[in-house]
Amino acid sequence: MANLKEVKQRINSVISTQQITKAMKMVSAAKLRRAQDKIIQMRPFSQKLTTILNNVSAASEGATDLVYAQKREVKKVLLVPVTSDKGLCGAFNTNVIKATNLAIREQFTGVDVTIMPIGKKSFEYYRKTKYSLIDQYSTLFHDLSIDAIRVAANHAMDAFVAGEFDQVFLVFNEFKNVATQIIRTEQFLPMSPAESTEVGKTETDYILEPSREYIIEELVPKALRVQFYKAILESNASEHGARMTAMDKATENAGDLLKELKLMYNRTRQAAITNEILEIVAGAEALGGK
């Protein structure tokens, strides 16, 4: 049985860890509220912009001629795994890396794959692999702003237009709630064709100035940047939700461990006291026998 000093040290260590995990949970909860508000406000705008783009492009004969919708033989692919800069968020980062590797094995066998990691964790993982890296955006979360994200989106879009890549995919966690994040592997480029309208749903007849083609050329890059920005915001909210859940569970586990350690401490202390009493009684009996 462990001695009292060792058990006491373990109790103090667990208490310190529990205080840290509880503080991290509170910090993540505060950050989650702001991140959640951003993504909730972004989703309607993104969906409406996509709907307008689909309605306008569906009625345009030149929609298929868009540079961002050109389909080519897939020889070179750019994958953009979005992770966090920090750990202690459960399987958040691991799931993104697993999904990226799964896509490489199942969809891009024999294809030249390039990785554009966003987040320190994905950068640290893929810099040790054989894949080519575009690493200048791995620190995007250090200053999470629309301008920084626009630069990263433009890089992927310009590279696709220049023929450096035939497809671009985003791999990220979609925020559902605090306890649930859904892994998404979305095709960013080339743009998917507009979905057919639902039964009973009529298309909106827009009056377009100066021309339909000009509107599409202006609208498409903005819609793509919004899609990229939305994926980053989804991942940011998911990170804080995952860390909040992980720290809550860690705090709970620390509490359970404390109960066991305190019980062990009391048992050890009781056993030590009992041994001392037995020694005293045995010594008294020995003296009385004389």
Sign of CA dihedral 36, 41, 42, 46: positive
Enclosing domain of residue 68: 21-193+205-247
Structure tokens at 279: 């020694």
**Has residue 253 been placed in a domain?**
no
Contact 136, 115 (CB under 8 A): no
Contact 21, 251 (CB under 8 A): yes
Structure tokens at 16: 């310190």
**Has residue 59 been placed in a domain?**
yes
| Dihedral over alpha carbons 155, 92, 27, 11 (to 10 degrees) | -150
35-39, 119-123, 163-167, 191-195: lowest mean pLDDT where?
Answer: 191-195
- Across 52-58, average pLDDT: 69
- For the sheet containing 180-189, what is the strand order? 132-133, 112-115, 76-81, 167-177, 180-189
Contact 57, 63 (CB under 8 A): yes
Res 59: pLDDT: 56
**Has residue 241 been placed in a domain?**
yes
State yes or no: is 37 an active-site residue: no
Res 58: pLDDT: 62
**Has residue 45 been placed in a domain?**
yes
**Has residue 219 been placed in a domain?**
yes
How many structural domains are present in the chain?
1
Task: Answer yes or no: is pLDDT of 290 > 70.
Answer: no
Res 116: pLDDT: 97
Q: What is the CATH number of the domain that holds 93?
A: 3.40.1380.10
Q: How far is CA 67 from the centre of its chain?
A: 30
238: phi then psi, degrees, rounded to nearest 5:
-65, -40
For all residues of the chain together, what is the average pLDDT?
Answer: 87
Confidence of residue 198 (pLDDT cuts 50, 70, 90): very low
Selected catalytic residue, list 39, 80, 89, 247:
89
**Has residue 198 been placed in a domain?**
no
Structure tokens at 246: 């992980």
Q: How confident is the model over 170-192, as pLDDT tens digits?
A: 999 999 998 899 999 999 998 87
Q: How confident is the model over 212-255, as pLDDT tens digits?
A: 777 777 888 998 999 999 999 999 999 999 999 999 999 999 99
Nearest 5 degrees, angle CA 105-CA 174-CA 152?
A: 75
**Has residue 268 been placed in a domain?**
no
Res 283: pLDDT: 80
Task: Answer yes or no: is pLDDT of 122 > 90.
Answer: yes
Top pLDDT among 201 and 217 is at: 217
Top pLDDT among 182 and 279 is at: 182
226: phi then psi, degrees, rounded to nearest 5:
-65, -40
pTM of the model: 0.84
Structure tokens at 219: 């609208």
**Has residue 209 been placed in a domain?**
yes
Top pLDDT among 204 and 128 is at: 128
46-55, 158-167, 202-211, 261-270: lowest mean pLDDT where?
Answer: 202-211
